[in-house]
Amino acid sequence: MFEWSHSAVREKLVVVGNGMAGMRTVDELLKLDPARYDITVFGAEPHVNYDRIMLSSVLAGEKSIDEIEINSREWYEQNHITLYAGDAVIAIDPAARNVTSDSGLVVAYDRLLLATGSIPLVPPIPGLKLPGVCTFRDIKDVDTMITAAATQKRAVVIGGGLLGLEAAWGLKRRGMEVVVVHLMPTLMERQLDVPAGRLLQRDLTERGLNFFTDGQTETVLGTDHVTGVRLADGRQMEADLVVVAIGIRPEISLARAAGLDVNRGIVVADNMSTTDQNIFAVGECVEHRGQCFGLVAPLWDQAKVAAHHLAGGDTLLFAPQATATRLKITGIDVFSAGQLNAGEDEDEIVLNDARQGAYRKLVLRAGRVVGVVLYGDVSDGAWYYEQLRKGTDVSDIADRMILGQSATTGGGAPAATDFSKMADDAQICGCNGVCKSAIVQAITDKNLTTYDEVKAHTKASASCGSCAPLVKQLLAATLGTELTAEAAPHVCKCTSATHEEVRTGIASQGLKTQKAVRAAFGWQSEDGCGSCRPALNFYLLCAWPGEYVDDSRSRFINERVHANIQKDGTYSVIPRMWGGTTTPQELLVIAEVARTYDIKEVKVTGGQRLALYGIKKQDLPAVWGELTKAGLVSGHAYAKGLRTVKTCVGLEWCRFGTQDSTSLGKKLEHLTWGSWTPHKFKMAVSGCPRNCAEVSIKDFGVLCVDSGFELQVGGNGGIELRGTDKLCHVTTEDDVLEYCAAFMQIYREEARYLERTAPWVERVGMEYVKSRVVADEAGRKAAYARFLFSQRFAQDDPWAERAEKGVDALEFKPLVMEA
């Protein structure tokens, strides 16, 4: 440890660059030793420090310049920082220890911090100096684009990387016709592999962007103003605005002129000092052990290290971590980190559902994740990234890891909300490097109760904002029962509306389509995203049974038909076995199917069914056809709906049995199969308190006793083990069915999508559940009636249709059953 200085005579620190890394370093330094330095900051831009990341959102019209300001003028004054904004440093004299600015100021320093960032790459193409051409780096560029979009029509963006696409989308949102010219065959090729890049292009094309890939810009056309762009292969397009976004290079000119070691960037040691021990450097301008940087997450680590040494410390060293990339185009979900493709001795696991626009790839080396690419559903991004960052040995789960955290760990909440299983040092905010424990500690130590407070105190989600929903969920989870309405999670990042607000709005405003809901709540994205579409689909199904038609595209991958793809590319098929029973005839059919189609494995599942594994894709229709003919229906093994009703043999065979648990289990299964619920729903019936069917870890469990039936709810045997709570005691089987249906109906009408009964019961409290299901007899009967009505439109067995239409028609459809 070292002691911070409290000297009355302050040293002089000059900072060159009023950007993100420089000012973060100052921020860290003020926390460590606010009295150590007189600080002078020079910024080439005429602004206070702002969040450069958010320029994309400003261009897209989602934020104003004021909203992206990080430090106000008052902040500089309060912290006794002299700011020269709009006055670039033009020379450093390391021997005399002073800098000279463009306006002629000469300021002495004891320590100098270089944070000059990057400058956009502009290739030597004729015409790029014409009016109407700009880059995408700062407020001035954004102003140029916004002004052009107000009066002009056609824009060409050169560069189909992250910045180019965000620029193109922003211009499109401002009404321009936009063509993206990209040198490579697929977009964002540095962050996405070829299939993901293609999906991205397909989705952006659907949203109205145009692409010229494999396009080498030869000339920018025009005499007084840009008029078009010609490519080397002769393709040509008209343009009123050309945006060049092909990359960046570190701004090293000052450092080089001052005689510091430079390469691609300013060469720094692990303590962020340059070759002059009085001069430190941070941000995109540096090169550390041969590596330069283009995302903010590593810059925050650099800032901490530089501040530590500037404050007199000598222990903290910079060691770059893998970074994760997200694209900030609302409704397009992309996540990538690490290696894109497997090399020798490495494995790739891929799940590609091109029709549904979902794609996942993991690259593994020696049982460890070294790369992840997600497109469409990125909810598991944080979990994969955590494994990658920590180098966790995932050999044991590698075979199913591609299906995501909940599939891998056998159930439970999705990765984003699975905080109890999340390591303390798991990163929540990649941009600002804020981990779970830092947020939890801030919430508890400082009694934070709102998202804004958490953001202000921890900086989590204060940059690109994509982790805001996760931060809100962590706040809610940490506050537990003290959850305030304000802390209730938003449906997703497309909206600030909570689940409850949306559900209420759907009913009270009569909203009957996803589009109408998005319009009513001012969704930021026209089409929603992979998180809100399944949620809205469920809420609408639940609110308007028989009226709203289920949208099979709005499903999580596990639920969609490809979800039963196995790691070797074959499929599994799991017939329903009512109450865990079967017949010789069914067994013969299953055996015959398994033999005919060379099915590798027939396995008894935990839910008392026979699962067929290793079916080739081309055999699926025939397998479904054979099973359907024999009356075997889908077990909905991947549904957010009723899964299984597990039973013991009960009174009929067991000498301890008190009731006929098997037949009661079958009745419950026939009553509830095909029903949609916010998450999967499992049941069990045990014939006596020995509880062989494991009632106490089910969503709804029935424990048979001599005097009747003890009903239990809210159990979970997955990652977050939770024993059931006793609901009540009833005396007849009819009561069991009524209470079960009422509980299920109230759960599905009131829980948040993807909330299992266990957290729901904890959130609302058992007293509340009892008050609705037990105490309020009329309310229970009404809920039972609503349940029965909804069941007329429950999911049918999808196999019959699939068998007829073949593998390309893998869709669930609602069924109108006999009244």
Ligand X SMILES: Cc1cc2nc3c(=O)[nH]c(=O)nc-3n(C[C@H](O)[C@H](O)[C@H](O)COP(=O)(O)OP(=O)(O)OC[C@H]3O[C@@H](n4cnc5c(N)ncnc54)[C@H](O)[C@@H]3O)c2cc1C
**Residues in contact with ligand X, shown as a per-residue x/- string from 282 to 321 under the rule CB under 6 A:** -xxx--------xxx--x----------------------
Name the nearest CA neighbour of 663 among 675, 673, 648, 674: 648
**Residues in contact with ligand X, shown as a per-residue x/- string from 225 to 254 under the rule CB under 6 A:** --------------------------x--x
State yes or no: residue 337 binds ligand X (CB under 6 A): no
State yes or no: residue 687 binds ligand X (CB under 6 A): no
119/153 Cα distance (integer angstroms): 27
Nearer to ligand X, 294 or 313 (CB): 294
CB-CB contact of 723 with 715 (8 Å)? yes
Q: How far is the CB of 94 from ligand X (least distance, A)?
A: 15
Q: Which region among 15-23, 269-277, 618-626, 808-816 touches ligand X (by CB under 6 A)? A: 15-23
State yes or no: residue 88 binds ligand X (CB under 6 A): yes
Q: How far is the CB of 680 from ligand X (least distance, A)?
A: 34
Q: How far is the CB of 433 from ligand X (least distance, A)?
A: 11
Return all residues near 393 (Cβ < 8 A) that are at least 6 apart.
367, 368
Q: How far is the CB of 111 from ligand X (least distance, A)?
A: 16
The residue written with tokens 């905010």 in the block is: 429
Nearer to ligand X, 22 or 371 (CB): 22
State yes or no: residue 45 binds ligand X (CB under 6 A): yes
Name the nearest CA neighbour of 499 among 507, 488, 509, 510: 488
Tell me how far CA of residue 267 lies from CA of 28, 262, 287, in angstroms. 22, 5, 5
789/361 Cα distance (integer angstroms): 42
State yes or no: residue 55 binds ligand X (CB under 6 A): yes
State yes or no: residue 43 binds ligand X (CB under 6 A): yes
State yes or no: residue 409 binds ligand X (CB under 6 A): no
State yes or no: residue 455 binds ligand X (CB under 6 A): no
Torsion over CA: 85, 91, 95, 96 (sign): negative
State yes or no: residue 144 binds ligand X (CB under 6 A): no
State yes or no: residue 514 binds ligand X (CB under 6 A): no
Return all residues near 814 (Cβ < 8 A) that are at least 6 apart.
549, 550, 793, 794, 795, 796
Q: What is the 3-state secondary structure (H, E, C) of 180-229?
A: EECCCCCCCCCCCCHHHHHHHHHHHHHCCCEEECCCCEEEEEECCCEEEE
530/558 Cα distance (integer angstroms): 13
Question: What element of type H or E holds 349?
Answer: strand 346-353
Return all residues near 9 (Cβ < 8 A) that are at least 6 apart.
none
Nearer to ligand X, 291 or 420 (CB): 291
Nearer to ligand X, 105 or 397 (CB): 105
Q: How far is the CB of 432 from ligand X (least distance, A)?
A: 10
State yes or no: residue 324 binds ligand X (CB under 6 A): no
Per CB under 6 A, the list member of 154, 288, 328, 752 interacting with ligand X is 328
Nearer to ligand X, 55 or 684 (CB): 55
State yes or no: residue 92 binds ligand X (CB under 6 A): no
What is the length of the chain?
A: 819
Q: Which region among 20-28, 349-357, 518-526, 674-682 touches ligand X (by CB under 6 A)? A: 20-28
Q: How far is the CB of 404 from ligand X (least distance, A)?
A: 24
Q: Which residues pair with 236 in a beta bridge?
A: 230
Nearer to ligand X, 21 or 171 (CB): 21
Per CB under 6 A, the list member of 44, 242, 372, 475 interacting with ligand X is 44
Nearer to ligand X, 461 or 634 (CB): 461
Instruction: Show the tokens assigned to 740.
Output: 């079960």
Number of residues that bind ligand X (CB under 6 A): 35
Per CB under 6 A, the list member of 29, 48, 52, 696 interacting with ligand X is 52
CB-CB contact of 388 with 371 (8 Å)? yes
372/362 Cα distance (integer angstroms): 5
509/688 Cα distance (integer angstroms): 48
Name the nearest CA neighbour of 511 among 559, 478, 534, 543: 543
Site residues for ligand X, 703-722, by CB under 6 A, read: none
Per CB under 6 A, the list member of 117, 465, 621, 798 interacting with ligand X is 117
225/459 Cα distance (integer angstroms): 43
Nearer to ligand X, 464 or 476 (CB): 464
Q: Which region among 279-287, 346-354, 444-452, 578-586 touches ligand X (by CB under 6 A)? A: 279-287
One-letter amino acid of 387: Q
State yes or no: residue 20 binds ligand X (CB under 6 A): yes
Q: How far is the CB of 149 from ligand X (least distance, A)?
A: 16
Three-state DSSP class for 546? coil
Question: What element of type H or E holds 788?
Answer: helix 777-791
State yes or no: residue 81 binds ligand X (CB under 6 A): no
623/619 Cα distance (integer angstroms): 6
469/491 Cα distance (integer angstroms): 8
Nearer to ligand X, 43 or 534 (CB): 43
State yes or no: residue 599 binds ligand X (CB under 6 A): no
Q: How far is the CB of 599 from ligand X (least distance, A)?
A: 47
Q: Which region among 277-285, 512-520, 618-626, 800-808 touches ligand X (by CB under 6 A)? A: 277-285
Nearer to ligand X, 40 or 56 (CB): 56
Q: How far is the CB of 250 from ligand X (least distance, A)?
A: 8
Nearer to ligand X, 17 or 414 (CB): 17
Name the nearest CA neighbour of 267 among 249, 281, 248, 247: 281
State yes or no: residue 431 binds ligand X (CB under 6 A): yes
434/608 Cα distance (integer angstroms): 43
Of all residues in the shown chain, the one whose CB is closest to ligand X is 19
Please state whether beta strands 133-135 and 241-244 pair in parallel, antiparallel, or not at all (unpaired): parallel
Annotate 178-214 with b (16+ C-beta within 10 A) or e (fewer). Answer: bbbbbbeebbbbebbbebbbbbbbebbeebebebbbe
One-letter amino acid of 507: A
CB-CB contact of 675 with 744 (8 Å)? yes
Per CB under 6 A, the list member of 168, 255, 464, 769 interacting with ligand X is 464
598/387 Cα distance (integer angstroms): 36
Please state whether beta strands 248-250 and 118-120 pair in parallel, antiparallel, or not at all (unpaired): antiparallel
State yes or no: residue 797 binds ligand X (CB under 6 A): no
State yes or no: residue 22 binds ligand X (CB under 6 A): yes
State yes or no: residue 115 binds ligand X (CB under 6 A): yes
Please count the other Cβ atoms lying within 10 Å of the Cβ belonging to residue 173: 19
Per CB under 6 A, the list member of 36, 97, 111, 137 interacting with ligand X is 137
Nearer to ligand X, 23 or 794 (CB): 23
Per CB under 6 A, the list member of 13, 14, 18, 665 interacting with ligand X is 18
State yes or no: residue 468 binds ligand X (CB under 6 A): no
Return all residues near 233 (Cβ < 8 A) that are at least 6 apart.
214, 215, 216
Nearer to ligand X, 284 or 720 (CB): 284
Q: How far is the CB of 56 from ligand X (least distance, A)?
A: 5
State yes or no: residue 164 binds ligand X (CB under 6 A): no
Three-state DSSP class for 746? helix
Q: How far is the CB of 70 from ligand X (least distance, A)?
A: 10
State yes or no: residue 146 binds ligand X (CB under 6 A): no
Name the nearest CA neighbour of 181 among 137, 138, 244, 124: 244
State yes or no: residue 540 binds ligand X (CB under 6 A): no
State yes or no: residue 630 binds ligand X (CB under 6 A): no
Contact footprint for ligand X (CB under 6 A)? 16-22, 42-45, 52-53, 55-56, 88-89, 115-117, 136-137, 163, 251, 254, 283-285, 294-296, 299, 328, 431, 464
